[in-house]
Chains A and B, each alone.
Chain A
């Protein structure tokens, strides 16, 4: 394979995927399917956000379900009850989770590994209980209505808006990852003590990564609420923290495409197998999780990468063989 081709593969794929995504509303998809796709993209945004702290910085947050719900509620409450405009309400939906994330990060990011996961999970349970019981805040069982701005009343408009948001979030994460900041994050992930030893204030960078991640997941929550048009307290459940974690790890942590593939793929898979196995779908999902984590610990994107590397080695080996043989 000539070098020029190899370099062209990734951009071509990217353009192809984006092109297909842009054309989807016009190929006669049912309304329902467009809606599922839009919702799946909101989950993908949330998964990409989690990937920043989990995949790149190596801290397994189990509070992202809570921050997702808080973002959604912030948007719903400011847009509906306070009558704010769309954009400022969206900004608040990012800022409030970011602020809370910062405050929760202060004590919890001093702990490491599984402890951080436990502390954040505890926070998520607290948030869930508060939303469950404080009906003024959550609207109780009736929930909270979420208004749609006029320019997003059309289904296809919301689809494109979500697609644009997903691309934007991916671009931002890519910029972070390719910068010195991203390298710093990843150094914390690979060896926190070493990073500390070479003079990186690991706590401050973990806090930064966590806060940014919470900001983005809050936006995802707002977009999810927007598409649903409605919210209830179950959106803050830690089940969603687990789901997001699974999307990221099955898709492939610390890759750009991984969380997107994981979120879209698994969201669809769950929608699909619900029709086939009904209530048992989460049991299948659980088994799948165990099998994947044992046999493909780097997830789908990681697995493809592994395969690709092996293919490249094989190609290089063949060429080398030709040279020697010739």
Chain B
């Protein structure tokens, strides 16, 4: 039983990471209709920035977290403006190609500059244990940090004028423009928020894993799986789907096979789509 609970904790922690990345993706993909495949690589940049700040510049972890979020938010704005904005009225496949171009560019540049995998030290290197159930402090930080950020995002979307404007654009872009919402600015804002979330996920996760140039590629695909199954543009879907996938994976690693840990999500996606081509939940059409 304690083994099960330990795995459950790991699952929730994995899920927290997925939720943060998938939420950003569902904002971009669902609201702006951009298949931003390079979102995982923005996450990767966040982890590298953390390494630079902590290990090279000696910045404190807790200060590095907001710094990375702000820097990556700006990065997201640049990507939207330079890469996706010129492609807005083009066929979908073109944004897709641009995203692949961005992936190649970012991954190659990072690998050329630093080919080795890196790691950062944990801010609180402790293990809590009670009755056979043990928990690393960093896992708790990931779980709590993700929960706080998700709640903050929810409050922002539901309770502020800007957040409502984002929702308005999501529901009807032309209608939103008609009532005076600056769609371009909302688009930039969405990218900033989504990329900051990805950076937060990277910073929280970095002490638990290696930092490598390709760390974002499988993650982004999982995030897409979550978004597709959770319903396009649905925040609830991304949250439920993210935690479910994390727990499912932790259980699969424990009870089935760790070699194939990264492919369960994809097999599940194909199987579910074979039965329900529209995904599990109905999102925005």
B-binding residues in A (CB < 8 A): 54, 60, 104, 106-108, 110-111, 113-115, 117-119, 121-123, 125-126, 129, 133, 242, 245-246, 249, 279-283, 285-290, 293-294, 297
Contact = CB atoms under 8 A, between A and B. Distances in A.
Nearest to A58: B93
Contact of B263 (A118, A129, A281, A287): A129
Most buried by B among A108, A125, A280: A125
B221 A117 contact: no
Query: Which of under 10, 10 to 19, 20 to 34, or 35 or more describes the interface residues of B?
Result: 35 or more
Contact of B112 (A110, A123, A279, A293): A279
Interface in B189-244: 218, 221, 224-225, 228
Contacts, number: 118
Interface of B: 29, 35, 83, 86-87, 90-94, 96-98, 100-109, 111-112, 218, 221, 224-225, 228, 259-260, 262-263, 265-267, 269-271, 273-274, 277
Contact of B97 (A119, A129, A289): A289
A245 B100 CA distance: 10
Most buried by B among A123, A126, A246, A281: A126
A108 B263 contact: no
A119 B101 contact: no
A125 B262 contact: yes
Given A249-B93, A286-B105, A293 B98 contact: yes
Contact of A294 (B29, B87, B112): B87
Main SS of the interface on chain B? helix
A125 B266 contact: yes
Given A129-B262, A133-B259, A294-B86, A286 B103 contact: yes
Given A282-B107, A286-B104, 8 more contacts: A107-B270, A114-B96, A118-B221, A129-B263, A242-B100, A289-B100, A293-B101, A297-B91
Given A115-B228, A294-B86, A107 B100 contact: no
Contacts of A104: 270
B97 A122 contact: no
A123 B270 contact: yes
Contacts of A106: 274
A17 B133 CA distance: 71
Contacts of A60: 93, 96
Contact of B270 (A108, A245, A280, A293): A108
A285 B100 CA distance: 10
A60 B100 CA distance: 13
Contacts of B103: 286
Nearest to A124: B266
21 contacts: A107-B270, A107-B274, A107-B277, A114-B29, A114-B92, A117-B93, A117-B96, A118-B224, A118-B228, A119-B273, A122-B269, A129-B262, A133-B259, A282-B108, A283-B112, A286-B100, A289-B98, A289-B104, A294-B87, A294-B98, A297-B94
B270 A125 contact: no
A110 B277 contact: yes
Most buried by B among A119, A121, A122: A122
A238 to B, nearest CB: 9
Nearest to A294: B86
A254 B194 CA distance: 35
Most buried by A among B83, B93, B106: B93
Contacts of B94: 293, 297
Contacts of B263: 125-126, 129
B25 to A, nearest CB: 11
Q: Which 5 A-B pairs have the closest CB atoms?
A: A289-B101, A286-B104, A286-B105, A107-B274, A122-B266
Contact of B108 (A113, A246, A283): A283
A286 B108 contact: yes
A123 B273 CA distance: 12
Contacts of A282: 104-105, 107-108
A283 to B, nearest CB: 4
B147 to A, nearest CB: 27
Nearest to B29: A114
Contact of B221 (A110, A121, A287): A121
Given A60-B96, A107-B277, A125-B266, A290 B108 contact: no
A118 B40 CA distance: 14
B270 A111 contact: no
Contact of A286 (B102, B218, B273): B102
Contacts of A285: 101, 104
A226 B87 CA distance: 40
